[in-house]
Amino acid sequence: MTQQKTAGPPSSRKGDLAEEFMDRQTTLGKVRQALHRYPALSPALVLVVSVIVFGLLNERFLRVENLSLITQQVSVVGTIAIAQTLVILTAGIDLSVGAGMILASMVMAQLAVNQGVPGLVALLVGLLTGLATGAINGFLVTKFKLPPFIVTLGTLNVYVALTLLYSHGATVRGSDMPGLLTWTGKTFPIGSVRISTGVIVMIALYLLIAYILGKTAWGRHVYAVGDDKEAARLAGIPVNKVLMSVYLFAGAVLAVCAWLQIGRTNSASPNAGLDLNLDSITAVVIGGTSLFGGRGSVWGTLLGALIVGVFRNGLSLAGLDVLYQTLAVGILIIVAVSVDQWIRKAKS
Amino acid sequence: MTMTDSVAPNVETREPILRARNLVKTFGRVVGLDGVSLDLYPGEVLAVIGDNGAGKSTLIKCLTGAEIPDSGELYVSGEQVSFKRPQDARIHGIETVYQNLAVSPALDVASNLFLGRELRKPGLLGSVLRMLDSKGMRTQAREELTRLGISTLQDVTVPVENLSGGQRQAVAVARAAAFGSKVVVLDEPTAALGVRESNQVLQLVRDLRERGLPVILISHNMPHVFDVADRIHIQRLGKCAATITPQSHSMTDAVAIMTGAATA
């Protein structure tokens, strides 16, 4: 690479040789600069390559039914990862998103089935429950100044316990619930593809959050707070208000996700979805959002969730044991964070 | 420098833009400010100097809302004010460039200039959908940088972390100058800069004065202070030891007052 460049232009002098060592002058450096500027670029490349590879390995992979199945499989983790992205952008982390979501879904299902509350009311109370889990996290982070990791590690256990206490460990079947609660699991055809309403809700949420993060002052403040809290405060940004609203927003998103989870699994189970706490972080990290805050995008997270979905689906179609899927996801995380570290060094 | 001559003699008869009286600030048992008063007149550069721990930064923080004084009064254009947070000082037209710059590294130059007071699109897009006017902010950022003669920073879409120390300082100063309608406060603006970049910042300070904006400059660097300041407020042990001018005292005198070896 270096050879080509120095030999290339006829006017190359001694001075250019020195500049070769400057990061942005090399091809690799240019790639790094581009990845630094557009954080969603590297997960996009990974997704395209993995789709092609799995397509070559098994011709069933690229069939429309399979691809639409992947989107449905991804819808729950993809949605909850939006909440995770918001929190991680502020240099926090939320270990309790999955637990909060399951609590909200149990409230929805139990109220409707065991207490006989109308579907709409059960849904609304469930959504408020999800919002409350975010509010509690936000309150502890902003008022008690506790690190988000500790707060959400605590609330993770609290929400899990509350879920089991409230539901007595019993699963509620989707067939017993009002149609509104399982509406998100309904599929409808677009041409030859079957799309679930849950996937549409997920995409709508992505569009909404991408707009808010990218085009409003609040979005910019979220990045600024994650980037450098003290600088944001001195620039006149109400840091605690921003943080509180981020956790509230995350609570609202995971509340909607609870609804998607009921539709997707056609049930509400207190033992489901605990993996989602970590799976959501996986999607965010593979999507190129920095765990140090202030850098990343919600589209990267969608790509990250899709990558995990594609790997799991593709490896299982290739006939590999489920353990290899987990192994592959583990390697992906480490590679993604290494790439992130390398990209962050790209400063001129 | 003609400015100094015309301002200096009748300084006392003018109404100060910013007036502080008997500011006291303690941190536990440590006394940061022990009854400090300060006046800033229109169109002047007031330097604040002092040894480490003399209370320079505390004084500035109290003037700009970053700290709340325990007692004492603050007046802006004769009106009594009390600042609870940096935003309050800003509303009264006092803009501050903090030593740690308060810029957000991952955001670009234009976003940093407008951080905390972003412009929204006109019409329903702005009022209902809260959409930012990114293009307008970029245009205005470019205009402001050109007005201040900062030519090295024409690409306002570059993330601030890709800029040199002097350029970052220029962004922070430009932000203060763009929004500071009454006072611009600069805390150690040249501390981390090279010779050429320092001179650029000092030129910016002169330009601000030319535009009639009074400047408070906190610095350790005596040559810089004596180069641009009209008056020099010397802090010592939490009190104002003296207020001098570069004409009345030499650098040696200033250092002597600062260290307690002499009095004004």
pLDDT tens track for A232-258? 988 888 999 999 999 999 999 999 999
DSSP string, A177-228: S-HHHHGGG-EEEETTEEEEHHHHHHHHHHHHHHHHHHHSHHHHHHHHHHH-
pLDDT tens track for A282-301? 999 999 898 889 988 999 99
How much is the pLDDT for B10?
A: 46
Query: Is residue A75's pLDDT more than 90?
Result: yes
DSSP string, B193-216: --HHHHHHHHHHHHHHHHTT--EE
Å between B213 CA and nearest CA of chain A: 20
Query: Is residue A70's pLDDT more than 90?
Result: yes
Cβ(A40)–Cβ(A287) below 8 Å: yes
DSSP B48: E
| Between B165 and A89, residue with greater pLDDT | A89
CB contact under 8 A, A217 and B111: no
How much is the pLDDT for B7?
A: 44
Query: Is residue A153's pLDDT more than 70?
Result: yes
Listed range (A122-126, A164-168, B22-26, B186-190) with the worst mean pLDDT: B186-190
How much is the pLDDT for A172?
A: 92
How much is the pLDDT for A15?
A: 42
Query: Is residue A1's pLDDT more than 70?
Result: no
> For chain B, which ranges sit under pLDDT 70?
1-13, 101
Cβ(B25)–Cβ(B70) below 8 Å: yes
Cβ(A107)–Cβ(A125) below 8 Å: yes
How much is the pLDDT for A7?
A: 39
- Average per-residue pLDDT in chain A? 88
Partner A, chain B 59-88, Cβ-Cβ below 8 Å: 66, 86-87
- Of A211, A230, A235, which is closest to B115 when you measure between CB atoms? A235
How much is the pLDDT for A31?
A: 81
Interface membership of A3 toward B (CB under 8 Å): no
Query: Is residue A226's pLDDT more than 80?
Result: yes
Interface membership of B247 toward A (CB under 8 Å): no
- Of A37, A215, A235, which is closest to B102 when you measure between CB atoms? A235
**A25 — pLDDT class (breaks 50, 70, 90):** low
pLDDT tens track for A310-330? 998 999 998 888 888 889 889
Taking CB atoms and an 8 Å cutoff, what residues of chain B touch A232? 102, 104, 115-116
CA dist B17 and B77 (Å) reads 5
Interface membership of A32 toward B (CB under 8 Å): no
Å between A214 CA and nearest CA of chain B: 9
